Structure formats: structure tokens, C-alpha cells
Structure 1
Amino acid sequence: MSGTGDGGGARDRDDEGRARNARPRDGLGRPMPYGTQGVRRQPEGVVRAPELTVVEAQELLDAGKPFHAHEVFEDAWKSGPEAERGLWRALAQVAVGLTHAARGNLTGGVRLLRRGAGNVEEWARETGSARPYGMDLDGVVRWARALAAEVEATGVVVDAGARAPVLRG
């Protein structure tokens, strides 16, 4: 990666010249100061089998890293078959909703959890598939809506790892 990353005006860029932020990040994806130890970032643009996407995303969710799980879902959304893009995009929204609820952006978290739940539900209805790759989409929808309602009612920041959804139920 080129660029100084020292705040001196040069932008972090990858080998193709695209802007990238090389700052370390915490487990919820928040940028940390240069020189601090962050968590290992998910590589971008990885093409995985759908089953592996589900396994990796679940591991990240269980570890309290929903931001990183969102990136795994995003890879599937961008590289998968057109017919499944809505599913992976919706799951990415759910993961980002959990990210925001854990970061303390409760309004954004509630909004994204509900939007993601609605999009998961819509994809399942349109395709007639409630259990793609062994996932329990009805369970994911119930989880996201229940968490959104709880966060909205209590105003309490959630522990992402303790409140992770179970993708395969």
C-alpha cells in the first residue's frame, strides 16, 4: 500500500491506485490512530462459496465483529449470482445494524436492523427460499426485529458478541 498514512495529506492507496484507509480498526470497524494495534481486517473482494460465507460471517459475528461480518456478506453480494445479491446485501445490512447498535449509534442501528430484516424477508418471499445454505432466514428476521425493538425501547448499547444472530438455526 502506498501513501504515508501519517496524516500528512497523502492518501492511502492500494496497488491499483484506489483510495484505501490503512488505519487500524477496532473490532467494531472504528478507525484507530495510526501506530496502534487494531484487529486483523477482512480482505476485500474475496470470492467464497456461499457455505463458507455463512461460516466465516457467523464466526465473526460470534466474536463480536459484525462490521467484519458485513464485509464477508458484501463480498458475496458483489461476487455472487444476481439472484442472490439481495440476500447477501440484506444480511450485510443486518450486520451493519448490529455494528451501529454496538457502537452507540442506536437510531442508525435500529433503522438498519429493521431495513435488513425487511429485505431478508422480502428476498425469502420472492424466491420461496427460507433456508438457503442452511440459514434460518425467519429466525434472522425475528432476531433483527426483536433487537431493534429492544434497543429502541431501552436506549442501551448492545454487546455485539453476546447479541450475535444465529444464522443457521
Structure 2
Amino acid sequence: MQQRLPTRHALGLVFLSLGVLWLTACASKPVTENVPPPRIDQLMQQPVGDAPQNMLDWSGTYQAVLPCNACPGIAMSVQLREDHTAVVRERKLGSDIEKAPDQTYKGAFYFDSPHGSLITLSTSAQEAPAYKFWVSEGWIELRERSTGNALPQSSMYRLRKTSQPSN
């Protein structure tokens, strides 16, 4: 059997359809004329650009057993909620110590603007921070309370995300 070569008519149709596709792709640019700029009061409420609060999936529950000098470890659970509130529970591990009640913090948190990925848990702006955490995708890391600097052996202070937020 002989193979037929494409005819000029068929090649013309192929090139014509490619040209139409190219023209429609070029013509579908988004129109940005006559779009008003965002209001300044809205800019202050929402993070703009590539900020951790709008790039990372930070809300949820994080857990780990952190180092402790006087006990086998501190079990810590941190729940970060979409409404920028947090619940932190700490429990020292050990036979006699475990009978003591958990230490619990409930309050607001905010993203520190100079660092971006650092959150501060505090009941008010005037008070010393209760906690500072570095936020990353899938984990948070406990930081020094006053400066936000990494603690020695910082990887030992990482809490892994264990669940998504419950609404």
C-alpha cells in the first residue's frame, strides 16, 4: 500500500487553525484599565504580596515533646486559628510532674511585620510576649520570647502540624 502525502489543502487548514489559536491566545489579555486601586483601609487589614500569612497553610494544631532541663520533656500543643487566636497547652512529663495541671494560654497572635514568618502570642501589645514561633509549611518552631531569635539546637523546638483547623 502506498502512503498518501498530505495535500496542500490539508496543510493549509492546519496552518490556518494554528494561526487562529495563536490570535485568540494573544487577544485574551486581561483588561486592567478603569480598575480602581484598592482602598488604603483595606490594604492595612489584608497582607499584600508574598507574606507568610497568605502564602502558608499555617492554621491548625501543632504538637511536639520539647527539651526540659528538670524533666524528661515538655509536651506542647499549639492550635492556631484562622481568626488569629491561639490555644497553647504545656505539660511537663515525668511520674510526679504529670499529675500537675497543664499550663494553658488562650489569646490573640499576630504576624511580626519585620520578620514576616514570626508570630507573637500576646494578650496585648504592651505585655511581654507569651510565646514567639517561626512559621513554616507543616511546622512551627518555638523562638526566644523577647527577640524572636532561634533557640540553641532550634530543630529540637519544632512542632509538627498534626491536624487542620476545626471550624
TM-score by structure 2 length? Answer: 0.24
Which protein is bigger by CA-based radius of gyration? 2
Structure with more of its chain in strand, by fraction: 2
Structure with more of its chain in helix, by fraction: 1
TM-score by structure 1 length? Answer: 0.23
